[in-house]
Amino acid sequence: MSLRSRIASETAIVLATLAAGLAVGAAVAAGFHAPPLRVMATMLTSWRSLPDVVAEYSAMLALTGAAFAVPVYAGLFNIGAEGSFQLGALVALWAALKWGGLAAPIALGVAAGALLSGLAGWLRVRLSVNEVLSTIMLNWIVYWLLLYLVATKLEDPYNPQRTLEVPRSSRLPWITIGSTQIPSTIVIAAAVLAVLWVFLRMTRWGLALRFAGANEWTSRTRGVNVGLYRVASMAVAGLLAGLAGAIHILGYSHAIDVIGGAVKGFGYNGIGVALMGRNDPLAIIPAAVLFATLLTGSSLVEPIYGVPKEAGDFIVGVIVVLLAVPEAFRLLSRLRRR
């Protein structure tokens, strides 16, 4: 199969999956006695009414998507972007309140995320602890600690529903395009993903990382330290998710609410984004924009049509299940040719 026909078939798979996901969404809307086509249309055009939200979600999902994708190249499944994201946000908030400025909050947020995922990578390589398990456990641990700190040490005494706000000196600027304003996090995310793409596709270390994931044996015989690459891939993943959490708090939400709503779900939805983007850092960007549009749109349809916003999560889940079965798609296309 040539490169071009491979790209064509991957694209076809992704589009078919998307169509199936949207059909499920329409069915859910119908189940809630809402007009399916109008509900889906509202969902898919959410960028018109909420451009800043869609931009911010796109940036976050692109980074957490990359946090899932990078370890996949090394042969690992990182479900821990959720925890790294939340820890990055929490640490950045704390550092911003303590010292202000941008350097310390971002650096510490990134480092915290990298350490958390790196720990899961290390447990896998040194102690054979399955990384899916360890990252899920770490997610839950971070989640409860976050809720604890939000409601105690970081609480805003005048507004007990949330934390203190990030000081002015620690906020990332917004960008004005015509009459709309969007957060600058989208620029950071795009730049990071471009660098990542070059690293994976065009450097010797990127090649070694991909071989380490695809074929441990041959990598070892060529002197590639597979364990090191695996831990590093997890640390990089944590770095990406931690960065996302940090710039989310500094550039967009500025505070965390007592149920953690401001920082929830980005990591888990990033998995779907990475799968839809076929783990390619550049293809992840449009996938992130699409998921951001859908998820923003699902909160938009709730007040209008009475379809709960969880419909968005459900659609994402269905899309992920379907993306697990490329073989099934190939089977179908072969049957059709016959």
* Interaction residues for another protein, span 3-22 (CB under 8 A): 3
When asked if residue 159 is in the footprint of another protein (CB under 8 A), the reply is: no
Among 151, 175, 187, 190, binds another protein (CB under 8 A): 151
Q: Between residues 81 and 172, which has the closer beta carbon with respect to another protein?
A: 81
Strand partners, 176: 181
When asked if residue 98 is in the footprint of another protein (CB under 8 A), the reply is: no
CB of 150 to another protein, least distance (A): 8
Q: Between residues 28 and 96, which has the closer beta carbon with respect to another protein?
A: 28
When asked if residue 130 is in the footprint of another protein (CB under 8 A), the reply is: yes
Alpha carbon 251 to chain centroid distance? Answer: 17
Q: Between residues 37 and 207, which has the closer beta carbon with respect to another protein?
A: 207
Q: Between residues 147 and 175, which has the closer beta carbon with respect to another protein?
A: 147
CB of 327 to another protein, least distance (A): 4
The three-state secondary structure class of 87 is helix
Phi, psi angles (nearest 5°) of residue 34: -115, 155
Closest CA to 190 of 58, 278, 321, 83: 58
- CA 78, CA 25: separation in Å to the nearest integer? 27
When asked if residue 326 is in the footprint of another protein (CB under 8 A), the reply is: yes
Q: How far is CA 308 from CA 21, 303, 314, in A?
A: 16, 9, 10
Q: Are 208 and 224 in contact (CB under 8 A)?
A: yes
Burial 192-209 (b: 16+ CB within 10 A, else e): bbeebbeebeeeeebebb
Binding marks (x or -) toward another protein, 58..97, rule CB under 8 A?
Answer: -------------------x-x------------------
Contact window for another protein (CB under 8 A) among 163-171, 239-247, 265-273, 286-294? 265-273
| Residue 158 identity | Y
- CA 64, CA 24: separation in Å to the nearest integer? 25
Q: Which of residues 200-229 bind another protein (CB under 8 A)?
A: 202-205, 207-208, 210-211, 214-215, 217-224
Among 16, 32, 97, 104, binds another protein (CB under 8 A): 32
Q: Between residues 257 and 313, which has the closer beta carbon with respect to another protein?
A: 313
Two structure tokens written together for 201: 């596709």
| Farthest-apart Cα atoms in the chain, separation | 70
Number of residues engaging another protein in binding (CB under 8 A):
72
Q: Which of residues 298-317 bind another protein (CB under 8 A)?
A: 308, 310-317
Contact window for another protein (CB under 8 A) among 45-53, 164-172, 173-181, 325-333? 325-333
CA atoms within 13 A on the CB side of 27: 9
Among 14, 26, 28, 34, binds another protein (CB under 8 A): 28
Alpha carbon 227 to chain centroid distance? Answer: 25
When asked if residue 141 is in the footprint of another protein (CB under 8 A), the reply is: yes
| Residue 80 identity | G
CB of 128 to another protein, least distance (A): 5
